[in-house]
Amino acid sequence: MDQVIPTDRTSKEYKEWRVSGLEGSNMTEIHIVLSTVVLSYWLWKCKTAAEYHRNPGSFSKRGLSALVSECVVFFVPMFMALTGRYLYPTIAVLLGGIVYYRRQIPDFPRRHDKWAPDPRAQVFDSSYVAGKVTAKPYLSIYRAEMMLLTCFCILAVDFELFPLEFAKVETFGTSIMDLGVGSFVFSAGVVGVKAFLPRKVDGKIISPTVWSQLMAGMWTALPMLVLGISRFLLTESVDYQKHVSEYGTQWNFFVTLGLLPIFVPLGLCLFSNLRVASMGLVVVYQLLYSLSPIGSWLENAERTGFVSANREGIFSFIGYLSMFLMGMSLGKEILPDAPTFEARRMRLVSVLGFWTTSFISYNLASFVLGIEPSRRFANAPYCFWVAGFNSAMIWLFMLIEEDIDSKLPPSLSRSGRPVGYDVPKILDAVNKNSLTTFLVANLLTGSVNMLFETLLCGVAEAYGILVAYTVLFLLPALIMDKMGVRIRLKPMPKIRTSQRSKNGPPDGWADIEPTLLEFDEMMREAEEVY
């Protein structure tokens, strides 16, 4: 029986029909569109370095001009590329700007004796602190840009100017929004590994225990699960349009995000090797999907009970868990501070190897075995594609940073750079308050859809609404960053240690103090994952 197409473009039924049955676009188009993300960062990096070298003394005094420059470099290309307008002229302008500013950056003076020690390496190596994890600028910008793409797309898809081939596919295929969902999870895994790394606490290097990891995970999961339940209740109460085949009837993306930090430590207590655990999990899941009746049931079952009604969210969680572990395995290699200058450069090789593994795995699954990627069920080719794309993005960001920062004086090889040199102010604010930004963007998306008939908006009106929406979801993060405020979980009381005790520690305190310090540190780092 043919499906009846709703005729009222303002109805809930039409809006749900419009985003159903989509097949997406090819990977070449997706990667060309998203190349603007890398080019925007490259242009900003070259422009910033050129301005710093031109006048280091006044660099940190830039104010409004720096913010305007960031908006032009990062947001204008995003708007043009993701609405399918002027893509190739946008790329050409970005490349022209890169060439123009790159030529203005002076080269670092060459050493007369090429066998003499590199002064940058000497300063870098001497400033290393074991167990310390400092912010990585390329990683901060990568995460912030993925967040901005996600926030822009969740509203833009409701307008006619957004190409539907970029929207989420029904079952099998690839699209920009499908890649954005996976990238959100993968990037959370890259930084989420921080809670599992050995760290320096009160002068001691300690490794986290399974119990502390699980408690930190539950502390992180709680607000995400509350948001997931709240979103379900809110959308049901206002009869908001919902694409059921995306996650299921009651399930949503917040629930998936909330369960990840709980299941990760439970899984790693059984098998601690992140890379093998992630690959093994997704391979077993794909075998069950392809070789058992589970695959047919997932695609065709009636929604009669909780499991069948939410089968997409429940079973795709296995794939997202594997994807999160893949991100953690990469984060374990690049997140800790490099002990030497050479070790930092070798990380480029490590990330390139990760991308190669993901690329080969995707091609084996997709072209040799003939399995199409599916965001709906987060199958193996989809996971490998997301891991490969994100590792390639991180590698390119690292390469750009390594190239431009190699022109800095040796004293600035690890730290001490002026504010605004490493990370754009807007992206830094978004990265520090990513969960707040994502939540505000979701609330604004629902509000815009209730206040405007988005499908009836013309191009100019749609752009105006999207610009206002972008400003509004960025504003809380910028204000909070300016005030030095970050919305966190309710802070736990500081655990007392022997150094703060007036009467001295009780008997046996020395035996349990390292565990308490570790637990205290874990609970506070749990706030940093999303």
3-state secondary structure 30-48: HHHHHHHHHHHHHHHHHHH
How high is the pLDDT of residue 512?
57
Contact between 247 and 316 (Cβ < 8 Å):
yes
Which of 165, 156, 88 minimizes the C-alpha distance to 463?
156
The identity of residue 1, as a single letter, is: M
Residue 273 Cα distances to 43, 278, 325, 406, angstroms: 38, 9, 10, 34
- In whole angstroms, what is the distance from residue 126 CA to residue 135 CA? 18
Backbone angles phi, psi at 388, to 5 degrees: -65, -45
Token pair recorded at residue 395: 């590698």
How high is the pLDDT of residue 347?
85
Give the dihedral sign, CA 511/514/520/525.
Answer: negative
Q: 248 CB contacts (<8 Å, ≥6 apart)?
A: 303, 309, 310, 311, 312, 313, 314
- In whole angstroms, what is the distance from residue 62 CA to residue 49 CA? 14
How high is the pLDDT of residue 521?
53
Q: What is the pLDDT along the chain (530 residues), one digit of tens a residue?
A: 456 677 777 777 788 788 888 888 999 999 999 999 999 999 999 998 888 888 776 666 667 778 888 899 999 999 999 987 789 999 999 999 999 999 888 876 665 555 556 666 666 766 676 667 777 888 889 999 999 999 999 999 989 899 999 989 988 999 999 999 999 999 988 988 877 777 666 666 666 666 777 777 777 788 888 888 888 888 877 777 777 888 888 898 889 988 888 888 877 776 778 888 889 899 999 999 999 999 899 988 888 888 999 999 999 999 999 999 999 999 888 888 777 777 888 888 889 999 999 999 999 998 888 899 999 999 999 999 999 999 999 999 999 988 887 776 655 555 556 666 778 888 989 988 888 898 899 889 988 988 888 888 889 999 999 999 999 999 999 998 888 776 654 444 444 444 444 555 565 555 555 555 555 555 454 444 44
Backbone angles phi, psi at 195, to 5 degrees: -70, -10
How high is the pLDDT of residue 494?
43
CA-derived radius of gyration, the chain: 24
3-state secondary structure of 327: helix
- In whole angstroms, what is the distance from residue 102 CA to residue 18 CA? 45
- In whole angstroms, what is the distance from residue 383 CA to residue 279 CA? 10
- In whole angstroms, what is the distance from residue 309 CA to residue 247 CA? 9
Contact between 381 and 373 (Cβ < 8 Å):
yes
- In whole angstroms, what is the distance from residue 212 CA to residue 521 CA? 9
Token pair recorded at residue 331: 């984060």
How high is the pLDDT of residue 175?
93
Q: Full-prediction pTM beyond 0.75?
A: yes
- In whole angstroms, what is the distance from residue 402 CA to residue 408 CA? 10
How high is the pLDDT of residue 402?
84
- In the block, tokens 């893949």 appear at 326
* C-alpha torsion angle, residues 322, 327, 329, 333 (rounded to 10): 180
